[in-house]
Structure 1
Amino acid sequence: MSHLHQNRKILNRIKRIQGQVSSIERTLLTPESSCLDVLQQVAAIKGAVNGLLQQLLEQHLREHVLKGDQNFNEEEMQQYLSLLERYSK
């Protein structure tokens, strides 16, 4: 996965997730925060991690599984990724 260290989109997404996790910690340390605030933040992180997973899977497929494949079909790839996204939520 040496190609991932150069991908700014993935690195930025990870930094946003780190910020969201830090925000949960701050919320938990604030006595007046509600359980609903924490639950909402956790749900947002879950969505962000699912998005990251989707992006990493797509990169892996493109770089390691299908690279150079003469029979590669972009439409089929998008259908597969849509199906994967549907079941990863």
Structure 2
Amino acid sequence: MAHVTTNKDKIVARVRRIAGQVAAVERSVLADAECADTLHLVAAVRGAVAGLMDELVEDHLHAHVAAAGVTDAERAAAAAELAKLLRRHFR
């Protein structure tokens, strides 16, 4: 995933924010917080992960499917890989 290395710091910061959100869910459960509060935290995690997924998919498309100089075989392999990933994601 070579295209991630160009945005690595940004992506790692995003992943760390998500990790912090997940930790907040854990603290909420351990503290017996109100159900609605915990559900809001989980919804925020889900949204953050979905946003990260969107960014990574877009980067993958630009770097491996739509990039100039990519061979037809490489393009087909990258598209198949992405299709497999999206099937798993949308289960």
Q: Same fold (TM over 0.5)?
A: yes
Q: Give the residue type in structure 2 aligned to 1:63.
A: A
Output aligned runs, 1:48-87, within 5 Å. Answer: 48-68=48-68
In 1, are the aligned partners of 2:18 and 2:48 still within 8 Å (CA)? yes
> What value does the CA root-mean-square deviation take over the aligned residues?
1.6
Distance 1:9 1:58 in 2: 15
What is the TM-score of this pair, normalised by structure 2? 0.68
Q: Which has the higher helix share?
A: 2
In 2, are the aligned partners of 1:13 and 1:52 still within 8 Å (CA)? yes
> Any unmatched runs of 5+ in structure 1?
70-87
Deviation track 1:47-78 (CA, whole Å, cap 9, x = no partner) reads 10110111001100111111116xxxxxxxxx
The corresponding residue for 1:19 is 20
Aligned residue pairs total 69
Identity over aligned residues, as a percent? Answer: 45
The corresponding residue for 2:47 is 47
Distance 1:12 1:62 in 2: 22
Task: Using the TM superposition, give the Cα deviation of residue 6 of structure 1 relative to its aligned residue in structure 2, in angstroms.
Answer: 4.0
User: Structure 1: which 4+ aligned runs deviate by more than 2 Å?
Assistant: none
In 1, are the aligned partners of 2:3 and 2:60 still within 8 Å (CA)? no
